[in-house]
Amino acid sequence: MPLNTNPRLEFVLRLADNCLILSQRLGEWCGHGPELEEDMALTNIALDLNGQAQNWLEYASQLEAEQQTPDMLAFLRDAGEFRNCLLLEQPNHDFAYTMARQFYFDTWHSLVLTDLLDSTDHRIREISEKSLKEARYHLRHSSGWVIRLGDGTDESNLRIQKAIDDLWCYTGELCTADAIDDTMCAERIGPDLTKIRRDWLTAINNILTEATLQVPESGWMHTGGKQGIHTEALGYLLAEMQFLQRAYPQAQW
């Protein structure tokens, strides 16, 4: 799908879609959590991210002169029009995978939102300020679990290490700047991803070390999500998320 001509709109859609797609993934845990408290935690985090996605999509809708409502952006775009990073659409697998994915994202999300508190875009600043408090709370939760599983039993250590290793190849994209990111950084609307990458690696290293886990070696990384080139997983996710609006167009709550 071609990129929008407005780089700011692309940038906001990326922020929105990261939240929306991860929210949908976490919602799949509803009723399937490993324990009741965790079931509620995962769905609470999903709810926060859904609210954040709504705020970003409202802004995206305004930026494109309201050609599409926030609901249309969520429920009527096809996979090629989604701008989330590949990490967020990866399937839940087991609880270790879900926590590893959450830990990678929460660390990145908190750093980016902190940076966006100084954005020259007033609206981006406001939404970031609201989201950041929630993102930090999520990070405490996910990093707590990575430590608990890593420094737990042999079995839990094995499984979280595998999840950390398997998902590693989807993390490069979070901090790899393309032309949109460069433009946003130059206009001081978006963050400098080189700096975010450095801070992200430090934070990830610290927690993984505390968790007695091996930090994966840097290697080949998947990219494409931010430009709309996704893994197979996204299509299945959208089929479920968008079913109602596709089957019953314009249905209202």
Partner 1 sequence: MVTDMQTSLPFLEEIWGWLDSVSDPEIPILSVVDLGIVRNVRWIEEQTDFTTKAQSTRRSDSTLVVTVTPTYSGCPAMAVIKTDIQRALQQRGVSRVRIDTQLSPAWTTDWMTERGRKRLLEYGIAPPEPQDCKLGLASEARSTGIPCPRCGSSDTRLVSRFGSTPCKAFYTCNSCLEPFDHFKCH
Residues forming contacts to partner 1 in the complex (CB under 8 A) are 37-38, 40-41, 44-45, 47-52, 54-55, 125-127, 129-131, 133-134, 136-137, 140-141
Distance in Å, CB of 241 to partner 1, minimum: 16
Question: Strand (E) positions, the chain?
Answer: none
Minimum distance, C-beta of residue 40 to partner 1, in the bound complex (Å): 5
CB of 148 to partner 1, least distance (A): 13
* Closest to partner 1 by CB, 37 or 217: 37
Please, which residue, 138 or 230, has the CB nearer to partner 1? 138
Q: In whole angstroms, what is the distance from residue 154 CA to residue 134 CA?
A: 32
What's the CA gap between 45 and 23, in Å, rounded? 7
Q: Which is nearer to partner 1, 41 or 100 (CB)?
A: 41
In the bound complex, what is the minimum distance in angstroms from residue 230's beta carbon to partner 1?
24
Report d(CA 17, CA 60) in Å as an integer.
Answer: 11
Q: What is the rounded distance in angstroms from the CA atom of residue 146 to the CA atom of residue 209?
A: 10
The Cα 6–Cα 23 span in angstroms is 26
Smallest separation (angstroms) from partner 1 to the CB of 44 = 4
CA distance 149 to 113: 27
Least distance to partner 1 from the beta carbon of 212, Å? 21
* Cβ nearer to partner 1, comparing 40 with 229: 40
The CB-side HSE value for 212 (13 A sphere, CA atoms) comes to 11
In the complex with partner 1, the residue whose CB is nearer, 143 or 161, is 143
Max Cα-Cα span within the chain: 55
- Cβ proximity to partner 1: between 44 and 183 the closer is 44
Q: How far apart are CA 141 and CA 102, in angstroms?
A: 9
Phi then psi for 136, rounded to 5 degrees? Answer: -65, -40
Per the rule left: phi > 0, alpha: psi between -120 and 50, beta: everything else, 6 is: beta
